[in-house]
A = this chain, B = another copy of it.
């Protein structure tokens, strides 16, 4: 039963009620330890159990092969824009595909550390609205890796499959799509994600990286952000964000409960997400007031930006939404308009409530 408003924030984003309730109940005493998780030594037996279970559950949910490290780090995807080339570029060549604001930031930051080439990009003069066709991509065969952003949180552009590999190690920023659908981890050499969308609280960064890719950081790489150092120390070279890892672990457990009785695992989550997105896009496409400018096959199932043809109605739209318990719908300041982020924790009923409101608002204006 929904007792709280529906929160469409792009991140930090809505968490499952069950997770928050459990966290509140355990706040002063985790499992009879006499301690809050916040108060535990990261090297103690209790937290050891927490981080181990979180890693096990994540590996199960995503099907992470055994020859990949799972690292719990800090700094978010923006820090990874530097940390990835520091670890993986060998100060040589790295290729990037630009499909939105996030991959654009990634390639700009990488230029500090290596020779960057844009294997593909979109003319963004009218906004990022599609993925360039794969046959137009021109990565360099001697690049150390090919980087793409699996879901552009601001622009609402998503890769629904792994793009061609072009014979290169693939690196993906999956911040706003991870755990929303099955991912072929083995097709990538490195996947990273800020936690604050589908994983848990801001301040935790998840890195999944192939064993053979670590250990080649360039000298300028801070030890705390060297994947090899993090892996060797079980993510405890620097004190990890313990409480955020604990919450992420609760989210993983929640996801497993959601998929119980289903042989599909995370595919069942993906199906639910597909339905949510479909409902919302159908409403937008059927409307004379709202529009979304992303090419249909490339539309994000997590972040749905939409605009009102009459922008003078924006404020009224947001106020009406707020008063109906539909929160944080304002679009990113760089693109304007609206954005509904509908991550795993958003139920279909929340999307339905938004659609009902959008239709009522259109009728009334």
Q: How far is the CB of A174 from chain B (nearest CB, A)?
A: 16
Contact among B4, B12, B74 with A34 in the assembled complex (CB-CB below 8 Å): B4
Shortest A322–chain B CB gap in Å is 10
Among A42, A81, A202, find the residue whose CB has the most chain B CB atoms closer than 10 A. A202
Is there a chain B Cβ closer than 8 Å to A243's Cβ? yes
Say whether, besides A4-B34, A27-B20, A224-B82, A239 and B196 are in contact (CB < 8 Å): yes
**CB closest residue in chain B, given A41:** B9
Interface check A262, CB cutoff 8 A: no
For the complex formed, measure the closest distance between the CB of A353 and the CB atoms of chain B, giving whole angstroms: 13
Comparing A130-138, A215-223, A284-292, the segment that makes contact with chain B is A215-223
Closest to A108 in B: B223
Q: How many residues of chain A have a CB within 8 Å of chain B? A: 68
Contact check, B36 vs A76: say whether CB atoms are below 8 A apart.
no
Contact string against B for A residues 234-278, beta-carbon threshold 8 Å, 1 for contact and 0 otherwise: 000111111110010000000000000000000000000000000
Look across to chain B and name the residue whose beta carbon is closest to the beta carbon of A341: B41
Q: Does A14 contact B (CB under 8 A)?
A: yes
- Give per-residue flags for A141-154: 1 if the beta carbon is below 8 A from chain B beta carbons, else 0: 00000000000000
CB–CB B12/A40 < 8 A: yes
Picked from B75, B201, B220, B247, the residue with its CB within 8 Å of the CB of A75 is B75
Do A15 and B38 have beta carbons less than 8 Å apart? yes
A74-102 interface (Cβ within 8 A of B): 74-79, 81-83, 86
**Do the beta carbons of B224 and A79 come within 8 Å of each other?**
yes
- List chain B residues, Cβ under 8 A from A12: 38-42, 239, 242
Q: Does A109 contact B (CB under 8 A)?
A: yes
- Chain B residues whose C-beta falls within 8 Å of the C-beta of A39 in the assembled complex: 7, 9, 12-15
Interface string of A40-77 (1 = CB under 8 A from B): 11111000000000000000000000000000001111
Q: Is A203 an interface residue (CB 8 A)?
A: yes
A159 interface residue (CB < 8 Å to B): no
Q: For the complex, what is the distance from the CA of A17 to the CA of B34, rounded to whole Å?
A: 11
Complex-state Cα separation, A181 to B168, whole angstroms: 55
Determine whether the beta carbon of A224 is less than 8 Å from that of B78. yes
A328 adjacent to chain B (CB < 8 Å): yes
Q: How far is it, in angstroms, between the C-alpha of A202 and the C-alpha of B223 when the chains are bound?
A: 18
Task: Given A24-B27, A44-B328, A79-B222, decide whether A11 and B202 contact each other with a Cβ distance below 8 A.
Answer: no
A220 to B111, CA, bound (A): 10
- The docked-state distance in angstroms from the alpha carbon of A13 to that of B35 is 10
Check if A282 is an interface residue, CB within 8 A of chain B.
no
In the complex, A243 Cα to B247 Cα: how many Å? 11
Residues of B within 8 A of A20 (CB): 27-28, 36, 38
**A23 at the A/B interface (Cβ < 8 Å)?**
yes
- For this complex, 21 residue pairs linking A to B, each with C-beta atoms less than 8 Å apart, are A4-B28, A12-B41, A14-B35, A20-B27, A20-B36, A21-B27, A24-B27, A34-B325, A34-B327, A38-B200, A38-B202, A75-B238, A76-B239, A77-B238, A81-B224, A109-B223, A194-B239, A196-B242, A202-B242, A203-B244, A220-B220
* Apart from A4-B35, A11-B239, A81-B224: 5 A-B pairs, beta carbons within 8 A: A20-B38, A34-B325, A34-B327, A109-B222, A243-B243
Closest 10 CB pairs of A and B: A203-B241, A82-B222, A78-B238, A24-B27, A220-B220, A5-B34, A79-B224, A74-B74, A203-B203, A24-B24
